[in-house]
Structure 1
């Protein structure tokens, strides 16, 4: 029961306090890829802790400690006529764990299905109204609003409007299209879908709400950084200024948008990247967030196994 309490308390604390910890300082703008990993790892960690807390409360450590085969056999027996799962509290705990897992699965599927449907509809429109420009490697769409975006998916493509081609210099067009291709190569739409699924599943919890907004911002910073490896930052900044008011379809990833002016300042005045030690600390934090709940949940079972065989060691 101690492990269940620890996991439950951690899940509550992470859902409330993690956004403040992860938002401290400007380190995320210096390492957007690492920051995305930390935000998603924190979401996974909080949800996993809640699920494992329920399982730890419902299933006795002795059952886990005697091996997986005995565990499943005991679970079947307990569901029929066992003493532990016959208690209302145990049934409630398992029902809660199942509800959390089902909620995440449903919301994730809903986000992916909706986005896929909207992208297919938009792809059909581009086939009719757009034209592929082999030199640009993008679809050119006749439109009087300057915009550039990418349409993710199995046949992902970058899209730029004729107004954007008129507004941007050739080197700026190349830079902004490199930004969009970075989204496609990095499969950033799946990262956004994961963050959106957490936000949809738990809409009123600070961690998941903030994670959705932060991940959406950070994928744009990451695409800027990838584009900056091959194009001068000043070209990316100039393109962002001209595309700042451009609106892309909500299910695509656009170069402009609300964060464009902030990203312009970042392109023109880049901060120093994280030092090796800072980056290693961030990676260690990601590993701890992902492995921590599993380790805590496994401790009672491991302790029971060791105590059963050695009769000398007991952790919880």
Structure 2
């Protein structure tokens, strides 16, 4: 029961406090990939704590030490009593945990289905109105607004408008298309789907709301960094300035947008990357967030298991 209480308290505190902790300093801008991992781990950690707390509350730790056979016998007996007496605390706990998991799964499926439907419609439109440019490796769309974006999914493609081609130099076009190709190769749309599903499932909880916006921002920074490996930062920055007002479809990933001007400053004045110790600390935070709730949940049973078998061995 103690483990269940710890997990519940952790989930409640983490939902409020983790967004504040993760937003401190400028470390995320210096290592966007690591920052994305930390935000995702934080969300998964809180979600996992709910079903784990229910299991820790329902399953007695002492029966685990006597082996799987007795463990399953006790579980069957508990279920039989629950069926005879109706819902008790254990039934409520398990039902609540199942609802949380089902809510996240439903919202994730809804986001995926809606995005796939919208992308399919847009892909059909591009087939009719766009033309593939083999030299650019992108679809050119006749439009009077300068924009560049990618359409993720199966057969994903990069798109650039004729207005963008007229306003950008060749080096800038290559840089911005590299940015969009980084989104496609990294399957960044799937990461955004996860955070959107969490935010949609629990819209008023600070951690999931903040994670959605932060991960979307960090993914753009990550794509900028990948493009900067092959193209000069000045070309990426100048392209972002020209595309800052360009609007991409809501279900696509665009090079411009609200964060463009902030990213321009980052491209022109890059901060030093994280040191080895800082990166190790970030990786340790990811491991702690993911493994911590599991460790708390299984520790009583593991301790009981070891105590029982060590006692059995000492007798012989």
**Aligned residue number for residue 228 of structure 1:** 228
Question: Once the 2 structures are TM-superposed, how far is the Cα of residue 211 of structure 1 from its aligned partner?
Answer: 0.2
Contact 1:79 / 1:86 at 8 angstroms: preserved in 2? no
For these two proteins, the number of residue pairs brought into alignment is 312
Contact 1:175 / 1:231 at 8 angstroms: preserved in 2? yes
**Aligned residue number for residue 279 of structure 2:** 279
Contact 2:244 / 2:257 at 8 angstroms: preserved in 1? yes
State the alpha-carbon separation in 2 of the partners of residues 105 and 271 from structure 1.
Answer: 38
TM-score (norm 2): 0.95
State the alpha-carbon separation in 2 of the partners of residues 129 and 38 from structure 1.
Answer: 41
**Aligned residue number for residue 108 of structure 1:** 108
Indicate whether 1:62 and 2:70 are aligned.
Answer: no
**Aligned residue number for residue 153 of structure 1:** 153
Distance 1:129-1:66 versus aligned 2 partners, 3 A rule: farther
State the alpha-carbon separation in 2 of the partners of residues 133 and 18 from structure 1.
Answer: 46
Superposed CA RMSD: 1.7
Question: Once the 2 structures are TM-superposed, how far is the Cα of residue 61 of structure 1 from its aligned partner?
Answer: 1.4
Distance 1:48-1:122 versus aligned 2 partners, 3 A rule: same
**Aligned residue number for residue 289 of structure 2:** 289
Question: Once the 2 structures are TM-superposed, how far is the Cα of residue 55 of structure 1 from its aligned partner?
Answer: 1.5
Distance 1:29-1:84 versus aligned 2 partners, 3 A rule: farther
1:16-52: CA deviation from partner (whole Å, max 9, x where unpaired): 1000000000000000000000000000001111221
Query: Gapped runs of 5+ residues in structure 2?
Result: none
- Of 284-293 and 51-60, more deviation after overlay is shown by 51-60
State the alpha-carbon separation in 1 of the partners of residues 128 and 207 from structure 2.
Answer: 42
Structure 2 counterparts to residues 24-103 of structure 1, below 5 A: 24-68=24-68, 70-81=70-81, 88-103=88-103
Question: Once the 2 structures are TM-superposed, how far is the Cα of residue 57 of structure 1 from its aligned partner?
Answer: 1.1
Query: Gapped runs of 5+ residues in structure 1?
Result: none
**Aligned residue number for residue 184 of structure 1:** 184
Question: Once the 2 structures are TM-superposed, how far is the Cα of residue 310 of structure 1 from its aligned partner?
Answer: 3.0
State the alpha-carbon separation in 2 of the partners of residues 84 and 303 from structure 1.
Answer: 32
State the alpha-carbon separation in 1 of the partners of residues 150 and 35 from structure 2.
Answer: 23
State the alpha-carbon separation in 1 of the partners of residues 183 and 84 from structure 2.
Answer: 50
1:62-88: CA deviation from partner (whole Å, max 9, x where unpaired): 344444454444333321236999661
Indicate whether 1:199 and 2:175 are aligned.
Answer: no
1:247-305: CA deviation from partner (whole Å, max 9, x where unpaired): 00000000000000000000000000000110011001101100111111000111221
SS in 2 for 1:256: coil
SS in 1 for 2:159: strand
Distance 1:183-1:63 versus aligned 2 partners, 3 A rule: same
State the alpha-carbon separation in 1 of the partners of residues 73 and 114 from structure 2.
Answer: 40
Runs of 4+ in structure 1 over 6 Å off: 82-87
Contact 1:85 / 1:91 at 8 angstroms: preserved in 2? no
Question: Once the 2 structures are TM-superposed, how far is the Cα of residue 149 of structure 1 from its aligned partner?
Answer: 0.2
Contact 1:59 / 1:84 at 8 angstroms: preserved in 2? no
Question: Once the 2 structures are TM-superposed, how far is the Cα of residue 58 of structure 1 from its aligned partner?
Answer: 1.7
